[in-house]
Structure 1
C-alpha cells in the first residue's frame, strides 16, 4: 500500500487553468462566482478559449476537450487545473490518453468531482494525487468551512476529520479513493479501473433511483471489486428517492442491504457529494475509517 505523489502546495500568485472536460457549461453565473472565489484568494486564473463550446451535450468535441486537458497539464507555468463542471464526457477523452508523466512534467493539482471521477482515477493509476472537491459551478454554494477545507489542503495545511454515521465493524486504514458511484461503476473492467487492494472507497451519487443504486452495487459485488476494499465511506445520495406510488426500498435500505454484510467498516452520511456540503477528499492518501465512531480521518498530511 503506497500513497500517491502530492503536488507541491499552491500559493497566491500561482497560475491555474480552467477546462471543461465534460458537459456543456450552462451555469454561467455560478461559474463566475466560482472563479471569483479563487481570484479573491490571489490566484491567477486562465480560462481556456471557447469554454462555453457545445457539441451535443458535451463541452466541445472529444479532440478539443482532450487538447484542453493536454495543454493545461503540460504547461510548465500552470500549477493546477480547475474543472468547470461535471455532467458527462471525461471518460471519452481518456481513450488513447497519456498523462506524459515523465520527469519534465511536474505533478499538478486537478480538482473536481462527479463526472471528473474518471480523471481523478486515471491520475491515481499513475501515482499522482488529485482532489475530489467542488467544481467551479458548485464552489460558491459551499459553506464557508468547506471552501476553507479546499484551500487548506491545496495550500499545504492539515485537514480536519469528517464525522458521519458509523455502522460498526471496527477501524480500517487504507488509501482513500473517492468518486461518483455511477461514473466509477462504468470504469469497472476498463483500463481506468484502479487496483482496489487496500483501498478505502468513498462514494456518492445524485438523482439515481434506489433500484439503480442497487443494480450498480450488485455489479460491484459480482465483479469481486468489493472483496478487495478495506472500508467504505458513503457521502450524500441526494434526490435518490423512488417515484411516488412506486413500490421501492429506500436508498438507506439499499445501501444497508448491499454493503452491510461485507464484514468491513462502513461509515455513511459523510458531508461530501452533490446538493450539500462537498468536503474535499484527497485522492490516494492514507486515511483511517472508524466505523465505531463514524469518523474519516486523513493520515497523510504535508510535512513542514
Structure 2
C-alpha cells in the first residue's frame, strides 16, 4: 500500500515519538521543508520532555494518532530517533493507519515503527534523514536533501558504487521486498508480536555507537533466530562510531561481517551510505528492490503513488 505523493502547498506534520526534540533544531529545519513548498505543522510532543522521552507514552501516542487522523496532513516526518517507539507499538491504532495511509519518514529508533506498521498494515514507509539529527546539522548535504524529491515524484531509486565504495561479501543477485533498518531495534523486535519478518526479503542493516563485539552479539542473535538465512539478500548500511576504545582488543567490523555473512547463499554487500551518516540515502521500506553484485548496485521501486 503506497501513500499518496506530496504536492506543493501540502501540509506535513513533525512529531517526536521517541526522545525529546530540541525546539531550536526543529526550527532550523523548518525552512528546508518550506523551500519545497510545504507547510509545516508541529505536534505537541515537540515541546515535551519526560526524562529520555518526548512526553509520556499517552502524549506521544495522542500526537501521532491526531496527525494520522487529520487528512489535511499529508506526511508525518519524525523529528528524531533516540528511544521510545517500542513502548508505544502495541498501542498504535493500526486500523486508523490503514484508513488514513500517508507518508511516514524517519530512521534509527523509528525502525520499530517502520517494522510494526508495515507488518500490520502493509503500508510503505520511508527510511530517511530527520529534522533534529540530520537537517539541522551543518553537514547536511545535497544528496541527502535531494532524496526528499521521491515524495513528490514516484521515481525508481538507484544506488551505485559512484555514491560510495561498496564491498561484495557474497556475490549474486536478488529481487525482493526491502525491509530492516537499525540493527539494535530489529533485534529488540524478536520474541514480540512485531518480530521482523525476513523470509524472502532483502534485509537492510545499519547502526550507530555499537562496538564490534556488540554488533557481533546482535548479528548472532539474528542468526540464531533464523533471520539471516531467511533473507534473500543483505544490504549493510553505515555503522557509525563503531570503533572500540583505544587499546581494547577487538575484531574489526569487517571481520564480524565476514563471520556472519560470508557463509550465506544470498548476495551480501556492505558500504552503503544509509543510516547515521552523510550522505544519508533514503529508501522506501516495503517496496521491491534489486541487489546486484555484478555492477554493485541497488535499485528500489518508487514508494509513492503515481
In the superposition, the TM-score normalised over structure 1's length comes to: 0.93
Offset at 1:32? 2.0
Counterparts of 1:188-227 in structure 2, within 5 Å, are 188-227=190-229
Distance 2:30 2:2 in 1: 24
Distance 1:194 1:246 in 2: 33
2:6 alignment partner, one of 3, 10, 22: 10
Distance 1:25 1:303 in 2: 30
Corresponding position of 1:241:
243
In the alignment of these two chains, the number of paired residues is 297
- Any conservation in 1 of the 2:124–2:303 contact (CA below 8 Å)? no
1:147 alignment partner, one of 145, 158, 169: 145
Distance 2:197 2:298 in 1: 21
2:102 alignment partner, one of 104, 108, 112: 108
What CA deviation, in whole Å up to 9, does each residue of 1:28-85 have, x standing for no partner? Answer: 4432222211111111110012512111110100010011111111112111101111
Distance 1:160 1:217 in 2: 28
Structure with the higher fraction of residues in helix conformation? 2
Alignment of 1:165 with 2:167, yes or no, is: yes
Distance 2:53 2:123 in 1: 26
Distance 1:246 1:50 in 2: 40
Corresponding position of 1:133:
128
Q: For 1:134, what is the secondary structure of its paired residue? A: coil
In the superposition, the TM-score normalised over structure 2's length comes to: 0.92
Alignment of 1:35 with 2:37, yes or no, is: no
What's the Cα RMSD here? 1.7
Alignment of 1:93 with 2:93, yes or no, is: no
1:298 alignment partner, one of 271, 276, 300: 300
Distance 1:10 1:303 in 2: 10
1:45 alignment partner, one of 36, 40, 43: 40
Distance 1:148 1:237 in 2: 22
- Any conservation in 1 of the 2:170–2:265 contact (CA below 8 Å)? no
The verdict on how the C-alpha distance between 1:143 and 1:302 changes in structure 2, with shifts beyond 3 A counting, is: same
Instruction: Structure 1 unaligned segments of length 5 or more: list them.
Output: none
Instruction: Structure 2 unaligned segments of length 5 or more: list them.
Output: 161-165
